[in-house]
Structure 1
Amino acid sequence: MTIEQRIKAFVALGKVMQHLGEGKEWESTALGVTAAEYEKLQRVINTQIHHNGWFSKDNVQTSLRNLASMLQEDALIEWVSKYKFTATGKRIAIIMAGNIPMVGFHDFLCVLLSGNKAVCKLSSEDKHLLPAFCEVLAKFDPQFFEYIEFVQGNLKNPDAVIATGSNNSAQYFEKYFGAYPNIIRKGRTSLAVLTGEETKEELEALGSDIFTHFGLGCRNVTQLLMPKDFDLDRFFGAIVGYGEIINHNKYANNYDYYRAIYLMNQDDLLENGFLLTKEDDKLFSPIGVLFYHRYENQEEVEQYLKDRAEDIQAVVGKNYLPFGSVQTPGLEDYADGVNTMEFIATLA
């Protein structure tokens, strides 16, 4: 199976993902799948909410659109051309998280494009989507059946391991897979640095960084760094368009729970009916809550980021990633800053 064949199949898969992500109906076999196959994928998307209450149809479609944006032929060719894979056919275990739909897809893509075998252990929170799309991938090139394996029990004798989870699960991964070549990722989060010069449009885009996937991803902004005199009313005014999120039952339950806790503790809060904001140096805020920290100068900001670097996935702001971009990472935006393709290329 050549690299050209693998890329061609993923590009075709990306077109299907894009159509489904945009909520389009099946149009013709030019898409590469039949009407029945397309409708099967639609059913899988529509029923995810019954398996995981956070996986609403809109949430799944957002993930599909973001993944499809990666699967562009020219970008894939350029990306893969940077690496030389001397060892292929290796069984690389991928232990996937389940916080957002198909969150392990980038690892899956790396393993398969490198010519190795993806041994996937899915999260119980997200165990239907990837297998469904693997069927489509194998339709575009049946040779993929030999390169994809899903396991439910213990992983036996992999050649390497890529595992993503919480800080607690990372300890487990290190204990059981420490003897293998590995990438073990812990929990991280993202934050935004405000200067006070942001436009309304930029603050509105920041809302996307906060609310996409209900705030469950490691790339979701959970804390704001802001100048001492920043007026939070400007921020609240810009994000009013995201208010519909409170109509999601699980999000609303989190919002109400933490509002009650903070009020009982007599904590100072600012809220707008769908987001609680609280001054707190912690990076990880609960769902429905956004922490903020006020700073004096840029030097304080840089030291703050440096001291917490191991817990930060991404930073948005005027001198960092653009507002609204954090949920659409590119092929080379590797989780935790660890180059997955480079890791695979070093396997002997």
Structure 2
Amino acid sequence: MTPNKAIESLHQLGEEMRSYLAQTTSVAGIDKTTASGIKEQWEYALRHAEQENGWFTRENILNALTNISGWLNRDALSQWIEPYRIPRHNPNPLSVGIIMAGNIPLVGFHDLISILATGNKAIVKFSHSDRVLMEFLLNKLKAMGLAWSEWATNDGNGEASFDRMAFPGMDAVIATGSDNSAKHFEYYFRNKPHIIRRSRNSAAVLDGTEKDEELQKLGTDIFSYFGLGCRNVSKLYVPEGYDFKAFFRNMERFGSVINNHKYANNYLYNRTIYLMNGSRFTDNNFLLVIEDSSLASPCATLHFEYYKNEDALAGLLLAEKDKLQCIACGNRIKDNLMKLNTGFSGGIFAGFGKTQSPALNDYADGVDVIAFLNQIQAHSLIKTISGNL
């Protein structure tokens, strides 16, 4: 399929998604056999996903769909790929394997549309945590003319067994996982062009001048998706002597997270560990805030670290550069950090409340997927031309 046709199919899905989001009142008594209407199909998919994964609440799924629906717009998609000078007709589309994560709803969708919107083919390995929603959307795209295939497995249990998989039909692989799984991916795909994504986290920088509205938006960065995404804020950098009173006052509106049993179990478990270890922490009955230099924090826990001045802050952030997905902060902090030649690109910074609302050109880990695919195609073309001389 040509990129233009792919964009039309993605836009069509976006139109259906936006129509559903405009009328998201729950419909009772839906099952697969009665889900004949468009809205009923979406409602069934959402309920099925909730049943399969206790982290995937209706609110979190709708948040993910709302962000994705902003991507699936003809003008937005065209403007996104225009700088790459993608040929109108892709005579030799790549077959790209994609191993998806499943920590938050539809987290692998951006990689997917990066492949499809450029006229290439996707071979999908679903995450067992996010199969329902992703397969639902992919089947919608297939009905709209966008072909994809599932990554075949050979272990008899529906799980990936990479040592028994054949890769000859794949031109490249994009794999997302933990630091441990990344080591295995690097080995398995050593002979294929690849993007391997490891564990990353996001941080926020405060200077004590933040208004209540900004702190409330920061709360969204912390608590959306129960803090499980790599773009969720897991750590605060605060100036020495910072008073947390305003912070905790503005977090109160997020207290309903404790009503999710999986979140509550993590909160109680981590609280017990801290108490047994005699750790000093602050507790507001749904969030544990503890001083810790680690960027990654357990679920229901937020780390913080003091900084003496902005030069010291820049040093702390640089030490975590390869582990940071994004940094939430105000414009003053952003401008000052950029002036200090930290090496951070502007794309790593996000305004408060925006960390989980990336734009189409906000690539995970800062790795431009479309440029990566273009480079492979260019290399393949040069090789073909050389072989014909």
TM-score bracket, normalised by the shorter chain, equals over 0.9
> Looking at CA atoms only, which structure, 1 or 2, has the larger radius of gyration?
2
**CA deviation map 1:216-243 (0-9, x unaligned):** 1000000000011211111000111111
Give the superposition deviation at 1:7.
Answer: 1.1
**CA deviation map 1:132-187 (0-9, x unaligned):** 11222233x32x2xx30012413532110001111001001000001101110100
The amino acid that maps onto 2:53 is: N
Query: Which residue matches 1:165?
Result: 177
8 Å contact kept, 2:94–2:120:
yes
Query: Which residue matches 2:5?
Result: 5
Give the superposition deviation at 1:288.
Answer: 0.2
Query: Which residue matches 2:16?
Result: 16
8 Å contact kept, 1:85–1:344:
no
The amino acid that maps onto 1:12 is: Q
Q: CA RMSD in A?
A: 1.6
User: Any runs of at least 4 consecutive aligned residues in structure 1 with deviations exceeding 4 A, and if so which?
Assistant: none
Q: Which runs of 5+ in 1 are unaligned?
A: 27-33
CA–CA separation in structure 1 for the residues paired with 2:25 and 2:255:
28
Alignment map for 1:29-48 (pairs within 5 Å): 36-48=37-49
Alignment map for 1:293-308 (pairs within 5 Å): 293-308=305-320
Alignment map for 1:1-348 (pairs within 5 Å): 1-21=1-21, 24=24, 36-85=37-86, 88-139=92-143, 141-142=144-145, 144=146, 147-153=147-153, 154=165, 156-157=167-168, 158-318=170-330, 319=334, 320-347=349-376, 348=380
CA–CA separation in structure 2 for the residues paired with 1:23 and 1:222:
33
Give the superposition deviation at 1:37.
Answer: 3.6
8 Å contact kept, 1:20–1:61:
no
The amino acid that maps onto 1:262 is: Y
> TM-score, length-normalised on structure 1?
0.93
Task: State percent identity of aligned pairs.
Answer: 39
> TM-score, length-normalised on structure 2?
0.83
Give the superposition deviation at 1:115.
Answer: 0.8
Give the superposition deviation at 1:25.
Answer: 5.6
Give the superposition deviation at 1:59.
Answer: 1.3
- Alpha-carbon spacing, 1:110–1:36, altered in 2? closer, same or farther (3 Å): same
Q: Which runs of 5+ in 2 are unaligned?
A: 27-34, 154-164, 335-348, 381-389
CA–CA separation in structure 2 for the residues paired with 1:99 and 1:152:
22
8 Å contact kept, 1:92–1:118:
yes
Could you say which structure has the greater relative contact order, defined with CA pairs below 8 angstroms and 6 or more residues apart? 1
- Alpha-carbon spacing, 1:244–1:159, altered in 2? closer, same or farther (3 Å): same
- Alpha-carbon spacing, 1:104–1:199, altered in 2? closer, same or farther (3 Å): same
8 Å contact kept, 2:13–2:141:
yes
CA–CA separation in structure 2 for the residues paired with 1:20 and 1:168:
39
8 Å contact kept, 2:231–2:326:
yes
User: Which stretch has the larger CA shift, 163-172 or 130-139?
Assistant: 130-139
Give the superposition deviation at 1:23.
Answer: 5.2
The amino acid that maps onto 1:10 is: L
